[in-house]
């Protein structure tokens, strides 16, 4: 039985189907999870996908944080279950305080949609063991509110503890501090990314297949933990 | 009850800067800075007492504002 990766659908999620496809391409079983449920259906890992949960009303991710499923996601993350938040999912993880900092309106105000070069900074997370440290990978970004912000002390701690997971190279699309594109928690099981690895899993329809390694990494991680 | 939410002073507010940048084309001068925030008007059932105020303060600190990036202020109005 392949490892099961739960993909949460909030009202307004857009990329849940692409994440499920990416999980399948990586050899796992994707399990749909509903925002209103308090049941994780026995999954081994969880992805919060991109989109506009609850219309992005108030702040991106602010209302999704209080969805019934998030109580279970926060508890599971605390037990060490791998959790990946992509784009809006990253915003939800920050609002839930599973990750430090916040994501604000892009410095240039424009919604940015493009293939983005990234440098892999940490392969010590549940989602990045299959990547090469320092490697240049390409994945799409598509967001209006991706400017990662935290106080200097938090930024220094993230850098010092090796918790910056990926950084923008060849141009920062949103003005994020220290070119941060993704971070992890202290335990390395919770990762938030603004770029979309699920849209970079098949060279036929994406700029690269670099994103597949993230989904393959977590499948290795959960098999190793079992 | 009114809750005003503003980005913390040290956090870049590109929306406020865009508004500031539009002022010259409107012929408005003498404005040094603009920062944009959110304003919430909240009605309570029954009396506005200490208990209700406490609930609204909790609401402001958990949902209406994100204390990582924003400050909020409460005031009774109307």
Q: Report the distance separating Cα A116 and Cα A109, nearest Å.
A: 18
Name the minimum distance, in Å, from the CA of A102 to any CA of chain B: 7
Q: What pLDDT score was predicted for residue A74? A: 98
pLDDT confidence tier of residue B78, bands split at 50, 70 and 90: low
**Does B18 contact chain A (CB < 8 Å)?**
yes
* Domains recognised in chain B with CATH numbers: 2-75 (3.30.1280.10)
For A8-12, A113-117, B46-50, which range has the lowest pLDDT when averaged over its residues?
Answer: B46-50
Identify the helix (H) or strand (E) that includes residue B21: helix B14-22
Q: What are phi and psi of A76, to 5 degrees?
A: -65, -40
Q: Which of A87, A94, A95, A199 is catalytic?
A: A87
Residue range A50-65: mean pLDDT, rounded: 94
Q: Report the distance separating Cα A146 and Cα A110, nearest Å.
A: 11
Percent of chain A with pLDDT over 70: 99
Task: Give residue ranges of A with CB < 8 Å to any B CB.
Answer: 58-59, 62-63, 66, 94-95, 100-102, 104-109, 147, 149-150, 175
- pLDDT of A209 strictly over 90: yes
**Residue A59 carries which DSSP code?**
S
* Cβ proximity of A83 and A99 under 8 Å: no
Residue A198 designated active-site: yes
Domain count for chain A: 1
Q: Report the distance separating Cα A39 and Cα B1, nearest Å.
A: 37
Q: What pLDDT score was predicted for residue A18? A: 97
Q: Report the distance separating Cα A94 and Cα A97, nearest Å.
A: 5
Residues of A in contact with B12 (CB under 8 A): 104, 107, 147, 149, 175
Q: Which of A74, A98, A105, A147 to mutate to test the interface with B (most CBs of B within 10 A)?
A: A105
Q: Report the distance separating Cα A130 and Cα A195, nearest Å.
A: 17
Percent of chain A with pLDDT over 90: 94
Q: Report the distance separating Cα B59 and Cα B78, nearest Å.
A: 20
Among candidates A63, A101, A106 on the partner chain, residue whose Cβ is nearest the Cβ of B68: A101
Q: Report the distance separating Cα B65 and Cα A129, nearest Å.
A: 36
Q: Which of A18, A3, A12 is nearest to A35 (CA)?
A: A12
**Residue A52 carries which DSSP code?**
-
pLDDT confidence tier of residue A8, bands split at 50, 70 and 90: very high
- CB atoms inside a 10 Å sphere around CB A111: 13
Residues of A in contact with B15 (CB under 8 A): 105, 109
Residue range A64-75: mean pLDDT, rounded: 96
Are the Cβ atoms of B18 and A66 closer than 8 angstroms?
A: no
- pLDDT of A1 strictly over 60: no
- pLDDT of B19 strictly over 80: yes
Q: What are phi and psi of A139, to 5 degrees?
A: -150, 155
- pLDDT of A105 strictly over 90: yes
Q: Report the distance separating Cα A82 and Cα A188, nearest Å.
A: 8
Q: What pLDDT score was predicted for residue A226? A: 63
Q: Which of A35, A121, A143, A196 is catalytic?
A: A196
Phi-psi sector, A61: left (phi>0), alpha (psi -120 to 50), beta: left
ipTM: 0.86
Residue A120 C-alpha from the chain's centroid: 14
pLDDT (tens digit per residue) in A9-48 = 999 999 999 999 999 999 999 999 999 999 999 999 999 9
The CATH number linked to A31 is 3.40.50.880
Residues of A in contact with B66 (CB under 8 A): 59, 62, 95, 102
Which residues lie across from A147 on neighbouring strands?
A: A104
Are the Cβ atoms of B68 and A150 closer than 8 angstroms?
A: yes
HEC-encoded secondary structure of A136-169: EEEEEEEECCCEEECCHHHHHHHHHCCCEEEEEC
* Cβ proximity of B1 and B48 under 8 Å: yes
Q: What is the dihedral of CA A45, A50, A53, A56, to 10 degrees?
A: 140
Name the minimum distance, in Å, from the CA of B18 to any CA of chain A: 9
What rounded mean pLDDT belongs to chain A?
A: 96
Residue A159 designated active-site: no
- pLDDT of B11 strictly over 70: yes
Q: What pLDDT score was predicted for residue A145? A: 97
User: Domain range holding A64?
Assistant: 4-225
Residue A87 designated active-site: yes
């Amino acid at each position: 039985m392949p490892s099961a990766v739960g993909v949460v659908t909030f009202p307004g999620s857009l990329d849940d189907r692409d994440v499920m496809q990416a999980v399948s391409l990586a050899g796992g079983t994707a399990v749909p999870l509903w925002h209103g449920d308090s049941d994780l259906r026995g999954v081994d890992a969880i992805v919060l996908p991109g989109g506009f949960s609850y219309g992005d009303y108030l702040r991106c991710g602010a209302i999704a944080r209080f969805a019934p499923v998030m109580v279970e996601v926060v508890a599971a993350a605390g037990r060490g279950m791998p959790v990946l938040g992509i784009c809006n999912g990253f915003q939800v993880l920050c609002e839930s305080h599973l990750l430090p900092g916040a994501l604000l309106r892009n410095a240039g105000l424009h919604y940015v949609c493009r293939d983005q070069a990234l440098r892999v900074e940490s392969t010590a997370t549940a989602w990045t063991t299959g990547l090469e440290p320092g490697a240049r990978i390409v994945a799409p970004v598509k967001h209006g509110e991706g400017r990662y912000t935290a106080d200097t002390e938090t930024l220094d701690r993230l850098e010092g503890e090796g918790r910056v997971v990926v950084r923008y190279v060849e141009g920062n699309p949103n003005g994020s501090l220290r070119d941060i594109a993704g971070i992890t928690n202290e335990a390395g099981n919770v990762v938030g990314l603004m770029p979309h690895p699920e849209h970079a899993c098949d060279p036929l329809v994406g700029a690269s297949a670099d994103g597949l390694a993230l989904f393959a990494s977590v499948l290795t991680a959960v098999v190793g933990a079992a | 009850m009114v809750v005003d939410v503003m980005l913390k002073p040290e956090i870049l507010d590109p929306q406020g800067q865009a508004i500031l940048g539009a002022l010259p084309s409107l012929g408005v001068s003498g404005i040094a800075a603009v920062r944009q925030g959110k304003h919430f008007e909240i009605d309570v059932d029954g009396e506005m007492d200490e208990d209700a105020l406490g609930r609204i303060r909790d609401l402001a600190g958990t949902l209406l504002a994100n204390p990582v990036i924003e400050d909020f202020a409460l005031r009774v109005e109307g």
